[in-house]
Amino acid sequence: MLQILTITFPFFALVLCGYIAARRGMLPLAAIPGMNGFVLFFALPCMLYRFGASTPIAELLDPSVVLTYTLCALVMVAFVVAVTLHGRIGWNDASFGALVGAFPNTGFMGVPLLVALLGAKAAGPAIVSILVDMVITSSLCIALSRLGEHSGASATQAAKNALKGVATNPMPWSILLGGLVSALQIEFPQPLVATVGLLADSASPVALFTIGAVLARSQIMAKEDKSHEVHWQEYVPVALIKLFLHPLLVLLVGVTAVSLGVPLDKFALTVLVLLAALPSASNVSLLAERFGADNGRIARIILVSTAAAFFTFSGAVSLMTGR
């Protein structure tokens, strides 16, 4: 366990540093979008491209990983919507609560953390999960969020807008480009490879620091909005579902699939379970704000899951790897 904490501590410590920097005013809130832009459009795509290019194409196109992770994501969305859709929480808030309960922070945190823990081979299943969450899980939850408007057209249009957002996001394209380079064994000039490498190396520390800053900003903005208060019963259960039920579901579905003859690699299943044990994705807060959901509630779910994950994720790693 101490060995695991030695690896995971720096990752969560960087998140804490970003949080403190934003809360204490050392990092202006106005600078956070610029940091987000650097990570989203430069550093993280280069990191994902590099992993994609160095990962055998068969691992990026593993249907057993895709089907297992997708099924679990759909079950998670349905379950969270079912248990939270009542009273003050309508379709919009329930749908984004489901998204934050089913979408782990794989891009900003999961890929570098799991590669550090399990080796470069962990990047393959992690990249597959990013594509599933960005294309399927996000689009489904955004479409569901429009059902409260009693308009089928609005749900359809929301799904189209979500897919359009995916098309303009550089992360899926960087993954696809990396997969193409891997499949065709393309070699680029060394200066270009070195430039991409520098940006890729900066992705992990800047992304983790930015997560903390985004969490602090969301908390500050939620406190400034006194229009309503968010009771702990509206966000703590979702955070616990994300940290405990999601990885347990992936493990049970994966073990069942293997027993039924699905060729799901044991190592890939371990990676999927640990991905599910990650805290909620911080970018869901931005989506919730864009679509008019209760962003204060979403921010609290992300904050609680991130703080608690230092202990729960380390425990999951210990259980899955026997360390």
10-residue mean pLDDT profile of the chain (323 residues): values are 82 93 93 88 90 80 93 97 89 93 91 91 91 88 77 61 71 87 88 94 90 84 63 89 97 96 94 96 79 82 92 93 78
Q: Within 13 Å of residue 142, how many CA atoms lie on the same side as its CB? A: 26
- C-alpha distances in angstroms, 208 versus 12, 201, 240? 8, 13, 22
The predicted structure's pLDDT at residue 93: 92
- Has residue 102 been placed in a domain? yes
**Domain with 198 in it: what CATH number?**
1.20.1530.20
Q: Are 145 and 291 in contact (CB under 8 A)?
A: yes
Please indicate, yes or no, if residue 141 is contained in any of the structural domains.
yes
| DSSP 8-class letter at 281 | P
What does the pLDDT read at residue 37?
87
CA distance 3 to 323: 8
As to burial, measured by CB atoms within 10 angstroms (0-12 exposed, 13-18 middle, 19+ buried), residue 6 is: exposed
Q: Are 170 and 133 in contact (CB under 8 A)?
A: no
Q: At what angle do helices 190-224 and 2-23 cross, to 10 degrees?
A: 60
Q: Has residue 183 been placed in a domain?
A: yes
Residue 211 lies in a domain: yes
Residue 249 within any structural domain of the chain = yes
* Structure token pair of residue 254: 């994966």
Inter-residue contact 76 to 240 (CB < 8 Å): no
What is the tally of structural domains in the chain? 1
- Give the Cβ contact number of residue 156 at 10 Å: 12
Closest by CA position to 282, among listed 298, 261, 266: 298
In a domain? residue 231: yes
Please report where in the chains the tokens 């070195």 appear, as a residue: 194
- Please, are residues 28 and 130 in contact by the beta-carbon 8 Å criterion? no
* pLDDT value, residue 155: 61
Q: Which domain holds residue 159?
A: 2-317
* Residues 12 and 186: beta-carbon distance below 8 Å: no
pTM above the 0.75 mark?
yes
pLDDT value at residue 166:
66
Extract the tokens encoding 113.
Answer: 């953390």
91 assigned to some structural domain: yes
Tell me whether residue 323 is in a domain: no
In the prediction, which pLDDT does 7 show?
A: 86
